[in-house]
Chains A and B, each alone.
Chain A
Amino acid sequence: MDFNFTEEQTMIRDSLSRLIREQYDFDTRRKVVASKDGWRPEMWAQFAELGLLMAPFSEEDGGLGGGPIDAMVVMEEFGKGLVVEPYLPSVVCGGGFLKRGNDAQKAEYLGGIMSGEAIFAFAYAEPRGRYNLADLETTAKKDGSGFVLNGHKAVVIGAPWATHFVVTARTSGDRRDAKGVTVFVVAKDAKGVSTRDYPTVDGRRASEVYFENVAVSADAVIGEVDNGLPLVELVADEAIAALCAEACGAMKVAHAMTVEYSRNRKQFGTAIGKFQVLQHRMVDMFMEHEQSVSMTYMATLKLDEDEVTRKKAASAAKVRIGQGGRFVGQQAIQIHGGMGMTDEMAVGHYFKRLTMIDAEFGNVDHHLKRYTELSTVDVPMAAE
């Protein structure tokens, strides 16, 4: 058992943290988020230059030989800086699928993901599917040797900036069947793909993505036809671990800002941080953050364990981080008082991001249910 970071991981953290401090301050971010494109491709290029986009890939695939822990380090720093660039959709999700693709797919796409030239978005959610990854109305019908896709994907984060989509679609079975889910890679400029782009409440960009008779070849299938769900669940759990890391970064900063504010803000002739009721609240925030870090390590380190262990770990972490993030976010606003309600204070932006993290890849209720179902598969022996 070992909780130390490698030298490379520490280097990634230090250089990324410096870059964010120098070029991703709050005012700059606000301008970028409000700009037409809503992100900075040149910042993405700098991330590529630092090796962040290559970090979690094996050397065999042309990466730096890291893994989920490297992604965790990156995402935590992104959370601290409220970075909007699409590391999760492109590197964690897109890369997560394609590194498990066939040799031709790896050769075609991985290089682009690592250099930053290709940007992926993960089109899995649907308007009526909520958090069930198999609840798909998007269809892919066999057509000669290839497939034709039709359907509507909801809130595809990073889609406006993407060059490619990873798309889940039903190739057989009924709407929620585990079998019959297939994963495709589709170029955004493919005929029949259209998007409606919009900003998200926490400063990122997303799209509703429509597929209308989009023809793809058999080479576009990642993994096996009809048996894609286990792969989707695996990548979703990796995304959950990465999101948890991002939440930890955001919680850390929201808490630190709150403590700092309480030291300076005076009421009744004294700093409000001297009031015991607020001190204890801020201690509770601190404990929520610490426990979230613990759960993020746990879920990240268990990604390579057996399926049930991995899923339970990811769900447990998402539950704890959903609850912790909500508490830290709400209390950060509460302790900032009226100022916490303003757009000019950074703390509100952390609150918004923390709130949206719970809504992504399954919220607290969803994962508490999933965890419970996985725990009660085998009813234990009677007490007596």
Chain B
Amino acid sequence: MNLEFSPEEIAFRDEVRAFIAENYPKELAGVGTREDLTREQFLAWHKILGKKGWSAAAWPKKYGGTGWTSTQRYIWSEENARVDAIMPLPFGMAMVAPVIYTFGTEEQKQKHLPGILSGDVWWCQGYSEPGAGSDLASVKTTAVRDGDEWVINGQKTWTTLAQFADWGFFLCRTDPTAAKPQEGISFILVDMKTPGVEVRPIKLLDGGHEVNEVWLTDVRVPVENLVGKENEGWTCAKFLLAHERSGIAGVARSKRGVEKLRAIASTELVDGEPLIQTNEFARKISQLEIDLTALEFTELRTLAAESAGKGPGPESSILKIKGTEIQQRLTELTLEAVGNYAEPYTAGMESDGSNELGVGPDHSHFVAETYFNMRKTSIYGGSNEIQRGIISKMILGL
């Protein structure tokens, strides 16, 4: 047992660091991942990585992934977090791709994986419905076989960034008579340009347009868009959720967030002294950082187990729960740190690319919006209560 990087790993870190320094788009430096980025901004780094062959850090080599070890992936996340890099979005890279290369046909792999690797094709996730949130298995969207086509009807919701999507993956009910709700669901790929697909924006409490409703009316897609077996889509859905959960911890990003929080708390003053030197706030930061360390080493243990041949299992639920709790607490403390200047609504002002001056220090901009937005993290990807249910059933056997 040891924490040291081998000489090869140190060389790898140096190589990665140099590559990022040279190639990360200058105009995106320090912008960070925000919901109001343009499609081009979201994809800029992804495309550069695609050319380098580094876009899919977690995929096996034979499908175009890097084949990196868990330690290399850890280094990779750390190095990208140092510059707040806007990473490839999870919908293609971490969600549908592992389903396709695990359950898909050779044709599906060849058709879809290259576009995900290169960043040319944007995917969205058609899982939740108005009546199927935590109870995902109660999806009502139907897909009915008609000759060589599936005819899809229904409504999906909370579809993140579907306004940019080229393709979507949808959970559809293909056997309404199945004995259990989990049976009779199929996993189907839909070209978002297909007639009958309509994307309607949902404005969120932070003022942003991040999620959408997706309406599907007599949408016809070829039968070969089914991934895995008909009526066994739940297997794909569960598999995908386990992958989604493990990427969700966001340790490296949160570590960077703590650094920024320290910097903010060093300039904000309380009775003329830096906020960070007050016992109350300094200890809140310490507690956050300690909990983040616990999460980091739990993730490292999980990664080590994974590279020893075990795929992400129910343990990844811990990473989801603790990772999102920490992300939320980080934004909560950042909100507290900026004091009065949490209040101005500065969307559309200076730091947002307009000529109008912002209000208050730059570090206070979007702090409240980010805090509001991050409440989503304990709800999405299977709410944290659902995760506890999974651990209770799968690990504790209750």
Residues of A within 8 A of B (CB): 1-6, 69, 259, 262-263, 273-274, 276, 279-280, 282-284, 286-287, 290-295, 297-298, 301-302, 316, 319-320, 368-369, 371-372, 375-376, 379-384
Instruction: Determine whether the beta carbon of A383 is less than 8 Å from that of B290.
Output: no
Q: Is the CB of B267 within 8 A of A372?
A: no
**Complex interface: chain A residues within 8 A of B318 (CB):** 287, 290-291
Whether the pair A368, B398 counts as a contact (CB closer than 8 A) is no
Complex Cα spacing A286 to B395, Å: 9
Residues of B within 8 A of A (CB): 1-5, 9, 71, 74, 259-260, 262-264, 266-267, 274, 276-277, 279, 282-283, 285-287, 289-291, 293-298, 300-301, 304, 315, 318, 321-322, 361-363, 385, 388-389, 391-392, 395-398
A3 and B301 CA atoms in complex are apart in Å by 7
Residues of A within 8 A of B285 (CB): 372, 375
Give the CA-CA distance A297 to B1 in the complex, in Å: 9
Residues of chain B contacted by A274 (CB below 8 angstroms) = 398
Q: B392 to A376, Cβ gap below 8 A?
A: no
Contact of B300 (CB < 8 Å), options: A3, A290, A291, A372: A3
Which of A294, A372, A379 contacts B297, CB < 8 Å?
A: A294
Q: Given contacts A376-B282, A383-B260, is CB(A259)–CB(B396) below 8 Å?
A: yes
Across the interface, A301 reaches (CB within 8 A) one of B3, B262, B396, namely: B3
- Give which listed residue, B71, B279, B291, B300, contacts A320 with CB less than 8 A: B291
Instruction: Provide the residues of chain B in CB contact with A379, threshold 8 Å.
Output: 266, 274, 276-277
B396's partner among A283, A291, A316, A382 (CB-CB below 8 A) is A283
Tell me the minimal C-beta distance from A56 to chain B in angstroms: 14
B294 touches A294 (CB 8 A): yes
Can you list 5 A-B pairs, Cβ within 8 angstroms, ordered by A?
A274-B398, A291-B322, A295-B294, A379-B274, A383-B264
CB pair B391 A1 closer than 8 Å:
no
Contact A383 B266 (CB under 8 A): yes
Contact across chains for B396 and A282 when beta carbons are under 8 A apart: yes
Q: How far is the CB of B8 from chain A (nearest CB, A)?
A: 12
> B283 touches which one: A6, A279, A290, A372 (CB < 8 A)?
A372
Among A292, A376, A383, point to the contact of B363 (Cβ < 8 A): A383
A380 contacts across to B, CB distance below 8 A: 259, 262-263, 266
- Whether A368 and B283, one on each chain, are in contact in the complex, defined by CB atoms closer than 8 angstroms, is yes
The answer to whether B4 touches A1 (Cβ under 8 A) is: yes
Q: Which residue of A lies closest to B3 (CB)?
A: A301
Q: Is B290's CB under 8 angstroms from A294's CB?
A: no
Q: Which residue of B lies closest to A274 (CB)?
A: B398
- Give the residue of B3, B388, B392 whose beta carbon is less than 8 angstroms from that of A302: B3
B388 in complex: contacting residue of A262, A283, A382, CB < 8 Å: A283
In the assembled complex, the CB of B76 is this many whole angstroms from the nearest CB of chain A, namely 13
- From known contacts A5-B1, A384-B363, infer whether A280 and B388 are also in contact, taking CB-CB under 8 Å: yes
Verify A294–B287 contact, CB threshold 8 A: no
- Which of B71, B298, B362 has most chain A Cβ within 10 Å? B298
> Are B286's CB and A371's CB within 8 A?
yes
Residue from the list B287, B385, B391 in contact with A286, Cβ < 8 A: B391
Distance between Cα atoms of A316 and B294 in the complex (Å): 9
Cβ contact within 8 Å between B396 and A294: no
CB <8 Å contact, B266 and A382 = yes
| Interface SS of A by simple majority | helix
Beta-carbon nearest neighbor of B392 in chain A: A279
Closest 6 CB pairs of A and B: A294-B297, A279-B392, A291-B294, A383-B263, A283-B388, A3-B304
Q: Does B301 contact A294, Cβ atoms closer than 8 Å?
A: yes
Chain A residue numbers with a CB within 8 Å of B263 are 380-383
Residue A282 contacts which of B2, B361, B392 (CB distance < 8 angstroms)? B392
Tell me which of B2, B4, B282, B398 contacts A259 (CB under 8 A). B398
Residue contact A316 to B293, C-beta cutoff 8 Å: yes
Give the nearest-CB partner of A272 in chain B. Answer: B398
Task: State in angstroms the CA–CA spacing of A224 and B391 once bound together.
Answer: 52
From A3, A320, A382, B294 is in contact (CB under 8 Å) with: A320
Most chain A CB within a 10 A radius of its CB, from B3, B4, B264, B396: B396
Evaluate contact between A320 and B396: CB separation under 8 angstroms.
Answer: no
Q: Given B1, B3, B286, which contacts A4 in the complex, CB threshold below 8 Å?
A: B1
Given the complex, which residues of B lie within 8 Å of A259, measured CB to CB?
396-398
Contacts of A279 in B (CB 8 A): 388-389, 392, 396, 398
- Looking across the interface, which residue of chain B has its beta carbon closest to that of A271? B398
Known: A5-B1, A291-B295, A294-B297. A369 touches B74 (CB 8 A): no
Cα separation A313 to B287 with both chains bound (whole Å): 13
Question: Are A384 and B259 touching (Cβ within 8 A)?
Answer: no
Contact B5–A1 (Cβ < 8 Å): yes
Are B293 and A295 in contact (CB-based, < 8 A)?
A: yes
- Contact of A291 with B298 at beta-carbon distance under 8 Å, contacts A279-B392, A283-B391, A375-B285 already known: yes
Q: Kindly report which residue of chain B lies nearest to residue A285, judged by CB atoms.
A: B396
Q: In the complex, what distance in Å separates the CA atom of A247 from the CA atom of B263?
A: 35
CB pair A298–B293 under 8 Å, yes or no, is yes
Also in contact, A384 and B362, with CB within 8 A (given A3-B304, A295-B293): yes
- Residues of chain A within 8 A (CB-CB) of B321 are 287
Closest partner residue, chain A, to B281 (CB atom): A372
Closest to A256 in B: B396
CA distance A274 to B267 in the complex (A): 51
Q: A258: nearest residue on chain B (CB-CB)?
A: B396
- In the assembled complex, the Cα of A371 lies from the Cα of B292 at a distance in Å of 14
Q: How far does the Cβ of B120 sit from chain A's closest Cβ, in whole Å? A: 35
Q: A263-B398, A383-B266 are in contact. Are A301 and B283 (CB under 8 A)?
A: no
Contacts of B4 in A (CB 8 A): 1
The interface residues of chain A lying within 8 Å CB-to-CB of B74 are 1
* Inter-chain contact B2/A301, CB cutoff 8 Å: yes
Chain A's nearest CB lies how many Å from the CB of B388?
4
**8 other A-B residue contacts (CB within 8 Å) besides A273-B398, A291-B291, A293-B301:** A259-B397, A282-B392, A286-B396, A287-B318, A291-B298, A294-B301, A383-B267, A383-B361
Query: In the complex, how many angstroms separate the beta carbon of B358 from the nearest chain A beta carbon?
Result: 12
Return A258 CB to nearest CB of chain B, in Å. Answer: 10
Q: Does the CB pair A294–B298 fall under 8 Å?
A: yes
B125 to chain A, nearest CB (A): 26
What chain A residues lie within 8 Å of B286 (beta carbons)? 319, 368, 371-372, 375
Q: Which of B289, B291, B293, B301 has the most CB of A within 10 A?
A: B293
Could you tell me the distance between the alpha carbons of A5 and B282 in the complex, rounded to whole angstroms? 36
Inside 8 A of A291's CB, which chain B residues have their CB? 291, 294-295, 298, 318, 322
- A144 vs B227: C-alpha distance when bound (angstroms): 87
Chain B residues near A286 (CB-CB < 8 A) = 391, 395-396
Chain B residues within 8 Å of A4, by CB: 1, 304
Which chain B residues border A1 with CB–CB below 8 Å?
2-5, 9, 71, 74, 300, 304
Q: Which of A2, A69, A283, A382 contacts B267 (CB 8 A)?
A: A382
Distance from A284 Cβ to chain B, minimum over Cβ atoms (Å): 8
> What CA separation (Å) do A383 and B367 show in the bound complex?
14
